[in-house]
Structure 1
Amino acid sequence: MGLTTVDAIAFVAFLSAVIGISLYASRDEDTSEDYFLAGRSLTWWLIGFSLIASNISTEHFIGMAGSGFGSAGMAIASYEWIAALSLVIVAFWVLPLFLRLGIFTMPEFLEHRYGNPARTIMAIYLMAAYVGVAIAGVLYSGALGLQTIFGLDLLPGIWLIGILAGVYTVYGGLKAVVWSDLLQGSALLVGGCVVTVLGLSEVGGLQAFLAANEDKLHMVLPADDPELPWTIFLLGIWIPNMFYWGFNQFITQRTLGARSLAAGQRGIIFAAGLKLIIPFIIV
């Protein structure tokens, strides 16, 4: 079944609502703290949804789902389980330090500890990593989705996604971003649940699915597995997870805008809870 006019209208309406609500929510910004940290006024539920929405994207729905269908199977969900534990550590041992220092960015934290050269190095590294790796991958996979659904060529799709996201981000700052995250994250989670239910219905129910995919439902793979050996759980997987959830500007910015330490901690724990259900609606 192809895309109908109703589908196209719904897509455009949702996109317009995301941009409109985000810009409206961020209309009163007078200081740099308002712009970069939403005036340190973010509630726990906004923080939680924003953390998850910032994390999940087309790279999850396309990349992680593809890995789950491949040789990794459900073991690919290990990244999500470890992420939930990492978030708990960040909430109670890392966030209090950040809020006590009153920092705006992660490079600024390094400046407090090691001086200005460390701040400069990390800022350059993060910019290169975001532009060359993270953003590039998300833009490409998003454009791939637009190509599949609407028949739009990859390059125009990449430009379209980049421009639309850039409009409300540059204009509205962090507050616009977290409100767009709330709307888009909710849509992703609800949509993922709907697709899961419909998918199980198509294959004959949960029992039929489990019987047909028994070989892919193992959470722990052998130590000699080329993709996800169980040994990475001892140390290796924790290093990128702690960086990503605790010291990654792209993620941590949300928690730095919390109205209080308690709000920030509740938001992170809420995100950790959502992380536990992600594998069931994506993988």
Structure 2
Amino acid sequence: MPFQYAHRLFSHPQALAFFQGKSLAHLNGVDILVIAVYFAIVIFIGFYLKGSTNTSEEFFMAGREMTAWIAGLSFVSANLGSLELMGWAGSAYQYGILATHWYWIGAIPAMLFLGIVMMPFYYISKTHSVPGYLHLRYGDGARALSAVSFAFMTVLMSGINMYSMAIVMKVVLGWNLNFSIWVSSITVALYVALGGLRSAIFNEVLQFLLIWLGALLVPILGLIEVGGWTNLRQQILTNLGRNDYVHLWSTLGHFHDNPMGIHWTGIVFGLGMVISFGYWTTDFLVVQRVLSAHNLRAARMAPIIGAGFKMAVPFIVILPGLLALSVLPFHLVGAPEAAATGQHSYNEVLPLMLVRYCSPGLLGLGVTALIAGFMSGMAGNVSAFSTVWTYDIYGAFLNKKATDQHYVAMGRWCTFIGVLISVGTAYLVQHAASIMDYVQALFSFFIAPLFGTVILGMLWKRATRAAGFWGLLAGTLTAIGLWAWVHNDPSALRYVALSADAKTMAEDMYRALWSWLVCVIVTIVVSLMTKPKPEAELEGLVYGASKIPEEHDDHWFQKPIIWAGIIAVLFVVLNVIFW
């Protein structure tokens, strides 16, 4: 069995060589061929689709021709990057099954809400981006602020994927960090610049299949080794001397009762209500995929289909981290600063597990799955950056009267520019305690307050132009200010997270909650002090002032609300099972 081979590898005295920077494995000819074929296919797709991206609608929105299934798989795959694969596997090792919250309560309700409630307004307004919706609802001020902050966030997120892929190549294969970053960035730049969003979506569907095919090796072989889920729970209890690593909700009654140092209010309100809804309903990286659907019903079904697959992702991401708690020697993995002591960090747990279970021949497939995930995250951010820059910054403020062909050319060129900037930001990730902490901080800065602005704009006719800008600005500055406060004075965490027992993750959740609350309060106060738009100008933008088009489903089982209900029931059942 592959894990028997790997167990000897990790138990051998020569394992000390791994701590000295040598690669964990070496690829044979078949492994190299698998990786090379993947890169060739990715670039071929870009060249093949170049001829179908001649207009801005085709390049930036894939011609709005995607089916619900294609848009839905792309919707999930665009998010299935380094944060999913490496960040949360490491977090599961660090925090246990609590990391699953970011897939279930931190995703499913928001994805269903997007499909049922918010998608009609995004779709019928024919906007090309979330900042574009804010322009229609609030005007240029809110649009400019959201576009600039989103463009900044996308290049930082793209850098995370580049850095994570380079880490995998370094840990598993011993490749140079700089070489890995440049190979991945050039490949992504080529196929996105050539085929635009259509190329990114087609590759994301391919990458989704590869991720599942390659990443399934670790949980399946791992469960075989430990003897099933029940034995895994018992082994974790034995190894750690505590059972809070295998309970989803029962340990959240107090900050000091769980390894994450968080209270259920932070999970439910900070993560479930603010960060989750902010990301899945206003982050243009994922919303752009849904906007590419060919009709309103497909646009509403896409996030619902995505939610179904999202609930299964912890099996290939969280479970490897839990298995590592049982099967990896504890001296092998340490704190984020472990590199200084010769250990591997939490972010390297998944590559370690991959090498443990993938014998020569299978390793190429597993490494390709990780590469596919990282490149999916890169491509998603780069294509979103290209669209927002071209439509909401360059076309809106710098050159309003250019031809359609000029905007397509600008989109292609700024794809390369976005990748170059992302390469620079990739090196910033090295200074973060973990990938997850870095990303959660970004979300609290930019996504949480944006959700407050968008949701009030959609649900409240009284929200005004000035309120949209000042509410968003106040929320963003609040998040940044709270981060700076705790960064300079760690004892301030007790005030931000409402407890002296709170830990870093709690800070991220409560920071997001405070920034959202400030945004909402400021928006409401300023709205009541300023003049609203006439209701006639809110058609297609706000509930109560818009008529939602009928979808004409032939059968009851084709209705999005039915499938959303089924997903919601499964969501509740899973949370009860792992309570």
Which secondary structure does the structure 1 equivalent of 2:269 belong to? coil
Question: Alignment partner of 1:124: what SS?
Answer: helix
Greater mean alpha carbon deviation, residues 57-66 or residues 5-14: 57-66
CA distance in 2, matches of 1:89, 1:95: 9
In 1, distance between residues paired with 2:160 and 2:262?
A: 21
Which residue, out of 256, 267, 272, partners 2:302?
A: 267
Structure 1 position 3 matched with structure 2 position 3:
no
Other-structure match for 2:38: 14
State the TM-score, normalizing by the size of structure 1.
0.94
2:111–2:304: 8 Å Cα contact kept in structure 1?
A: yes
Residues 46 and 23 of structure 1, relative CA distance in 2, 3 Å threshold: farther
Q: Does the CA-based 8 Å contact 1:18-1:184 persist in structure 2?
A: no
Q: The residue matched to 1:234 in structure 2 has which SS? A: helix
Which shows bigger deviation, 22-31 or 160-169?
22-31
Instruction: Give the secondary structure class of the aligned counterpart of 2:230.
Output: helix
Contact 1:103/1:109 (CA < 8 Å) preserved in 2? yes
Please give the alpha-carbon distance, in whole angstroms, between the structure 1 residues aligned to 2:148 and 2:169.
Answer: 31
Question: 1:66: which partner in 2?
Answer: 90
Alignment partners' CA distance in 2, 1:26 and 1:41: 16
Matched ranges for 1:86-165 at <5 A = 86-132=110-156, 134-165=157-188
Q: TM-score with structure 2 length normalisation? A: 0.47
1:243 corresponds in structure 2 to 278
Matched residue, 1:49 = 73
Deviation at 1:26, TM superposition (A): 4.9
Structure 2: distance between partners of 1:43 and 1:130: 26
Shift of the alpha carbon at 1:23?
A: 3.6
Q: Does 1:84 align with 2:108?
A: yes
Question: Deviations 1:15-69 (Å, cap 9, x if unpaired)?
Answer: 2112213442453122111111111101111111111111112222211011111
Per-residue deviation, residues 227-259 of structure 1 (Å, max 9, x unmatched): 443212331112111121111111111011110
Aligned mates of 2:229, 2:137 — CA distance in 1: 52
Q: Which runs of 5+ in 1 are unaligned?
A: none
Aligned equivalents of 1:15, 1:270: Cα separation in 2: 28
Determine if the alignment matches structure 1 residue 253 to structure 2 residue 277.
Answer: no
**Using a 3 Å threshold, how does the CA distance of structure 1 residues 147 and 40 change in structure 2: closer, same or farther?**
same
Partner amino acid for 2:264? Answer: W
Q: What code does the residue aligned with 1:219 have? A: L
Q: More displaced, 94-103 or 17-26?
A: 17-26
Distance 1:94 1:22 in 2: 31
TM-aligned CA deviation for residue 188 of structure 1:
0.8
Give secondary structure in 2 for the equivalent of 1:64. Answer: helix
Q: CA deviation at 1:155?
A: 1.6
Q: Give the deviation of 1:207 after TM superposition.
A: 3.4
Give yes or no for contact 1:39–1:257 (8 Å, CA) kept in 2: yes
Q: What's 1:168 paired with?
A: 191
Q: What's the counterpart of residue 229 of structure 2?
A: 206
Question: Greater CA radius of gyration, 1 or 2?
Answer: 2
Match of 1:183 in 2: 206
Gaps of 5+ in 2: 1-24, 238-242, 319-579
3-state DSSP of counterpart to 1:30? coil
